[in-house]
Amino acid sequence: MFNALIVDKGEDGKTSAQVKQIGLDDLPEGEVTVAVDYSTVNYKDGLCIGPGGGLVRNYPHVPGIDFAGTVEASSDDRYAVGDKVVLTGWRVGEAHWGGYAQKARVKADWLVPLPDGLDARRAMAVGTAGFTAMLAVMALEDHGIKDGPVLVTGASGGVGSVATAILSNLGYSVAAVTGRPESADYLREMGATEIVARTDLNETVKRPLEGERWGGCIDAVGGDMLARLLGQMQYGASVAAVGLAGGAGLPATVIPFLLRGVNLLGIDSVMQPFENRQRAWGRIATDLPMDKLDAMIQPATLSDLPKLGADILKGQVRGRVVVDVN
Residue ranges that bind ligand NDP, judged by CB under 6 A: 42-44, 128-129, 132, 154-160, 178-180, 183, 198, 220-221, 225, 242-246, 267-270, 312, 315, 317
DSSP code, position 247: B
Q: Which residue is nearest to ligand NDP (CB)?
A: 157
Please state the closest distance from residue 208 (CB atom) to ligand NDP, in A: 21
CA angle 263, 128, 105 (to 5 degrees): 140
* Helix spans in the chain (H): 43-49, 120-143, 158-169, 184-190, 223-230, 255-260, 274-287, 290-296, 305-313
Query: Do the bridges between strand 263-266 and strand 297-301 make them parallel or antiparallel, or are there none, so unpaired?
Result: unpaired
Q: Is 152 helix (H, G, I), strand (E, B) or coil?
A: strand
92 vs 129 by CB, closer to ligand NDP: 129
- Integer Cα distance of 70 and 50 in angstroms: 28
Please state the closest distance from residue 131 (CB atom) to ligand NDP, in A: 8
Please state the closest distance from residue 26 (CB atom) to ligand NDP, in A: 28
17 vs 192 by CB, closer to ligand NDP: 192
31 vs 219 by CB, closer to ligand NDP: 219
178 vs 232 by CB, closer to ligand NDP: 178
Please state the closest distance from residue 321 (CB atom) to ligand NDP, in A: 9
- Integer Cα distance of 75 and 159 in angstroms: 34
Please state the closest distance from residue 101 (CB atom) to ligand NDP, in A: 21
35 vs 244 by CB, closer to ligand NDP: 244
Which residues have a Cβ under 8 Å from the Cβ of 316 and sit 6 or more positions away?
none
